């Protein structure tokens, strides 16, 4: 399957095939569930390029997520230079960037989103607190959305108007995902001295983020409700892409609902421990989408999975 995917993605040179295989191992290791979804539900021709984009995003995040703000800013400046040099020259000593260069060559939109993502990383490096929902949305638009679009652009529709609706749907989806991230990781983030819950909401509820209590429970439910509203707005996303990409997008949105359910169940206990979606429920969701995709291939007159809108 993987060799076939490399063939269909246009990855021919032996060294480059090794590079993509190395990124695949890394993605499978640090994002097991996400890789499983891509492996099961995406067309073979796009899978290696999604792997390359995810690997680049993770590598970037890992490089700028350690040390003091000055350390992180210096790491970003160095990485920015390496990425731009690779894209300009068409090669790099780093396998993750060689894959990025090849994927950008096959999918030119990737270059635009790499540029926006690197600019957004400046906000990611600099922020310490998020004042309110307006600032949260700015963070999402400047950093989280460009990060998502590194991969989402590989699945985006070609029609300009539909593409604009797709991007806005991605904005609503990633805003929900980011809010859920901040809730899931609350205990760890508070210990690290940098949480993403809007401070005006913390003040409004009088919540203590370090220990469970009714006020924190109300805060969690409020933030979960706002995430739910964005997830509802993102429901049409699968209808905007070609049928070959719909199973993956449906699964992506479905997993966010599972994460949100887990956050709501955890409530105020998020002050002391993280939450996450039910593994059996997530696996069942993926299997259902995989079965639906397989059925569509075998059913005459259906276009699901055949790449037609």
CA gap 267, 269 in Å, rounded:
5
CATH of the domain at 256: 1.10.600.10
Residues 187 and 258 occupy one common structural domain: yes
CA-CA distance, 175 to 168, in Å (whole number)?
11
Do residues 252 and 282 share a domain? Answer: yes
Render pLDDT for 191-220 as a digit per residue (tens, 0 to 9): 988 899 999 999 999 999 999 999 999 999
Q: Do 1 and 109 have their domain in common?
A: yes
Instruction: Please tell me whether residues 48 and 165 are part of one structural domain.
Output: no
Question: Does residue 206 come out as left (phi exceeding 0), alpha (psi in the -120 to 50 range) or beta?
Answer: left
What is the reported pLDDT for 33? 85
* 145/275 same-domain check: yes
Clarify whether residues 307 and 189 are in a common domain. yes
Instruction: Quote the number of domains for the chain.
Output: 2
Same domain, 112 and 187: no
Question: Which sign, positive or negative, has the C-alpha torsion 261, 194, 190, 147?
Answer: positive
User: For each successive 10 residues of the chain (309 residues), what is the average pLDDT?
Assistant: 95 97 96 91 97 97 90 96 97 98 97 97 92 97 97 96 97 98 96 94 98 98 98 96 96 96 98 94 94 66 39
Of 97, 126, 155, the position where a domain reaches its end is 126
126, 146, 168 — which closes off a domain?
126
C-alpha distances (whole Å) from 72 to each of 62, 114, 182 are 10, 18, 20
Q: What is the extent of the structural domain holding 105?
A: 1-126
Q: What is the pLDDT of residues 57-113, one digit of tens each?
A: 999 999 998 888 899 999 999 999 999 999 999 999 999 999 999 999 999 999 999
Place of tokens 């209590």: 213
Residue 193 and residue 187: Cα distance in Å, rounded? 10
31 and 158 assigned to the same domain: no
For residues 146 and 285, membership in a common domain is answered with yes
**How far apart are alpha carbons 53 and 110 in whole angstroms?**
8
Q: How far is CA 88 from the centre of its chain?
A: 26
Q: What is the pLDDT of residue 306?
A: 35
In order of 33, 42, 282, the CA distances from 285 in angstroms are 12, 15, 5
Report the alpha-carbon distance of residue 229 to residue 277 in Å, rounded: 19
Using CB atoms within 10 Å of the CB of residue 183, give its burial: 0 to 12 exposed, 13 to 18 middle, 19+ buried.
buried
The predicted pLDDT at position 68 comes to 86
Q: How high is the pLDDT of residue 296?
A: 61
Of 91, 111, 126, which residue constitutes the final position of a domain? 126
């Amino acid at each position: 399957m993987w060799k076939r995917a490399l063939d269909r993605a246009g990855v021919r040179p032996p060294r480059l095939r090794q590079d993509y295989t190395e990124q695949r191992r890394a993605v499978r290791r640090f994002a097991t569930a996400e890789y499983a979804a891509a492996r099961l539900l995406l067309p073979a021709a796009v899978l290696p390029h999604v792997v390359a984009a995810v690997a680049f995003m993770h590598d970037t995040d890992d490089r700028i997520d350690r040390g003091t703000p000055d350390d992180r800013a210096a790491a970003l400046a160095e990485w920015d230079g390496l990425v731009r040099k690779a894209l300009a020259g068409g090669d790099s000593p780093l396998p993750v960037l060689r894959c990025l260069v090849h994927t950008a060559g096959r999918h030119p939109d990737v270059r635009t989103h790499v540029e926006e993502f690197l600019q957004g990383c400046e906000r990611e490096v600099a922020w310490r607190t998020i004042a309110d929902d307006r600032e949260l949305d700015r963070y999402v638009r400047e950093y989280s959305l460009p990060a998502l679009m590194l991969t989402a652009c590989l699945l985006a529709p070609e029609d300009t108007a539909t593409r604009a609706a797709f991007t806005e749907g991605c904005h609503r989806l990633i805003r929900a995902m980011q809010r859920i991230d901040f809730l899931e990781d609350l205990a760890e983030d508070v210990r690290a001295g940098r949480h993403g819950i809007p401070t005006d909401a913390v003040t409004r509820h009088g919540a203590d983020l370090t220990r469970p209590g009714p006020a924190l429970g109300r805060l969690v439910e409020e933030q979960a409700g706002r995430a739910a509203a964005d997830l509802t707005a993102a429901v049409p996303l699968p209808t905007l892409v070609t049928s070959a990409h719909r199973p993956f997008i449906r699964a992506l949105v479905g997993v966010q609902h599972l994460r949100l359910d887990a956050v709501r169940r955890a409530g105020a206990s998020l002050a002391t421990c993280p939450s996450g979606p039910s593994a059996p429920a997530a696996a069942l969701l993926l299997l259902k989408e995989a079965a639906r995709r397989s059925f569509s291939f075998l059913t005459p007159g259906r276009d699901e999975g055949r790449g037609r809108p």
